[in-house]
Amino acid sequence: MSVTIVVGTQWGDEGKAKIIDYLSENIDIIARYQGGANAGHTVVVKNKQYIFHLIPSGILYPNTICILGNGVVIDPKAFLEELDSLTKENIHYEGRIFISDACHIVLPFHKLIDAHKENLSEGQKIGTTKRGIGICYADKMLRIGIRIGDLYYNLEERLQNYINIKNKELKYLYNLPEISYEELYKELKDFAERIKSMVIHTPTYFEKALKEGKSILLEGAQGTALDIDHGTYPFVTSSNTTTGGALTGTGIAYHYIENVYGICKAYVTRVGEGPFPTELKGEMGEELRKYGNEYGATTGRPRRCGWFDVELVKHAGRINGLTGLVLTKLDVLSHFDTIPVAIGYEFENNKIDYFPSYGLESCKPIYEYLPGWKSDISNIKSYSELPANCKKYIEKLQEWTNIPIKYISLGPNRSQTLVL
């Protein structure tokens, strides 16, 4: 019983990587379970910043093992670039990174189609990261995609069939250039050679590790409200970002799960399109963006900012079975005199006390107003030293969400973390 899951409780970028890095000090194996290079996970150690897209955020400790579970979609180019940047940073990864042989592969045309669809004037713009994620998962569901294991067994036939289907789609549906079999085959074979020693059968690897008493942390990407089933569909990503996805995306059985930590910002941000009830569109939103430095770690896009939304986090608690919350970026709120918190919604003249599957764009937040603390808390080392109004903010969020807050984060550095 030593598996911890870390999930985002909002629309991603909650500071998951910072907390995963912090927790990884005492963890043997860190595994991603879904998503791909759409993730942008920032870790700051001694003021040096690292941004990970596919590599698990626990890589900075010299002895951790990092795994990409079967639910992850791997872009060979992005993955190799990330390995090269580890080498540049003098981070030794040999024998420490493993990939499931059942991961699907993101191919160049997935990215082309993703970007093309986003740029079409007709159809629905999602505001994706253009990393080909949705298109790759669609091919997985259509049962035509190429997996890591295919690189080593019967690739010729699988790739030829796949390209025949995709070339029709590219030509007739999107009017995009067709794929050359020879070029792609060579690229994939070169990739296969480079990663050969990393490819493993993950369910048996995890089972053995757990029987040996190893601790495992499952690293979620994106957040609960971006989950394909439980998020703000269609403005979501194309995977299960939640606890269910951690099980299917690794092959680890449910009874090993000990803790599920939900990471939540002390306010809310969102990148891309879609409803966001507590969004601040004016000057206040710009202030939050400025103080929180809210720009995407993958695309650099400015993040939309708004106040804490209790129903959103309660939704995450319910779906993920959260055993604790980690409240991040509390330091950013030090600038405000009063801090509004949405404790429910008004929808078509009725008060509703859940995060709805439809009509969120018409939900009006019902706010409670808490007093700010207006002092720098970023170097505080214990809970008792926090200003009274800051403690009150934490206690009220705990009371309203009804989920125990286990850690708080007061800055991007590893050291700016308090255990409650």
Nearest of 192, 335, 175, 181 to residue 267 by alpha carbon: 335
Beta bridge mates, 199: 99
Q: Which residue is nearest to ligand IMO (CB)?
A: 272
Contact between 134 and ligand IMO (CB under 6 A)? yes
Contact between 232 and ligand IMO (CB under 6 A)? no
Q: Please, which residues have CB within 8 angstroms of residue 154's CB and are 6 or more apart in sequence?
A: none
* Binding partner of 237, given Mg ion, ligand IMO, ligand GDP, none, CB within 5-8 angstroms per partner class: ligand IMO
Task: State in angstroms the smallest separation of the CB of 38 from ligand GDP.
Answer: 10
For Mg ion, how many residues bind (rule: CB under 5 A)? 3
Q: Which of 86, 184, 297, 363 binds ligand GDP (CB under 6 A)?
A: 297
Contact between 297 and Mg ion (CB under 5 A)? yes
Contact between 329 and ligand GDP (CB under 6 A)? yes
What residue spans of 66-132 are helical by DSSP H?
Answer: 76-88, 108-119
Contact between 262 and ligand IMO (CB under 6 A)? no
Q: Which of 4, 24, 38, 417 binds ligand IMO (CB under 6 A)?
A: 38
- Scanning 60-68, 82-90, 165-173, 325-333 for contacts with ligand GDP by CB under 6 A, the matching segment is 325-333
Token pair of 247, please?
Answer: 């099980």
3-state secondary structure of 41: strand
Task: State in angstroms the smallest separation of the CB of 41 from ligand IMO.
Answer: 6
Contact between 331 and ligand GDP (CB under 6 A)? yes
Q: Which of 29, 66, 126, 257 binds ligand IMO (CB under 6 A)?
A: 126
* Binding partner of 271, given ligand GDP, ligand IMO, Mg ion, none, CB within 5-8 angstroms per partner class: ligand IMO
Contact between 128 and ligand IMO (CB under 6 A)? yes
- Scanning 13-21, 132-140, 179-187, 264-272 for contacts with Mg ion by CB under 5 A, the matching segment is 13-21
d(CA 234, CA 29): 33
Q: Which is nearer to ligand IMO, 169 or 207 (CB)?
A: 169
Rounded to 5°, angle at Cα 250 from 246 and 251: 110
Q: Which is nearer to ligand IMO, 3 or 221 (CB)?
A: 221
Contact between 9 and ligand IMO (CB under 6 A)? no
Contact between 127 and ligand IMO (CB under 6 A)? yes
Burial label for 154, CB within 10 Å (0-12, 13-18, 19+), is exposed
Contact between 302 and ligand IMO (CB under 6 A)? no
Nearest of 4, 26, 8, 20 to residue 417 by alpha carbon: 20
Contact between 15 and ligand GDP (CB under 6 A)? yes
Task: State in angstroms the smallest separation of the CB of 175 from ligand GDP.
Answer: 35
Q: Which is nearer to ligand IMO, 13 or 139 (CB)?
A: 13
Q: Which residue numbers are catalytic?
A: 13, 41
Nearest of 281, 393, 401, 265 to residue 340 by alpha carbon: 393
Q: Which of 36, 134, 245, 412 binds ligand GDP (CB under 6 A)?
A: 412
State how far the alpha carbon of 35 is from the alpha carbons of 74, 104, 140, in Å: 9, 11, 13
DSSP letter, residue 346: E
* Binding partner of 410, given ligand GDP, ligand IMO, Mg ion, none, CB within 5-8 angstroms per partner class: ligand GDP
Q: Which residue matches tokens 């940047």?
A: 85
Token pair of 87, please?
Answer: 């080498």
Burial label for 399, CB within 10 Å (0-12, 13-18, 19+), is exposed
Q: Which of 8, 36, 40, 285 binds Mg ion (CB under 5 A)?
A: 40
Q: Please, which residues have CB within 8 angstroms of residue 261's CB and are 6 or more apart in sequence?
A: 4, 5, 6, 7, 19, 23, 322, 323, 324, 325, 326, 406, 407
3-state secondary structure of 367: strand
DSSP 143-189: T---BGGGGGSSHHHHHHHHHHHHHHIIIIII--PPPPHHHHHHHHH
Task: State in angstroms the smallest separation of the CB of 177 from ligand IMO.
Answer: 22
Token pair of 356, please?
Answer: 């709805």
Contact between 332 and ligand GDP (CB under 6 A)? yes
3-state secondary structure of 74: strand
Q: Which is nearer to ligand GDP, 242 or 328 (CB)?
A: 328
> Where do contacts with ligand GDP occur on this chain (CB under 6 A)?
8, 12-18, 40-42, 44, 297, 328-329, 331-332, 409-412
> Where do contacts with Mg ion occur on this chain (CB under 5 A)?
13, 40, 297
> Where do contacts with ligand IMO occur on this chain (CB under 6 A)?
8, 11-13, 38-41, 126-129, 131, 133-134, 221-223, 226, 237-238, 271-272, 297
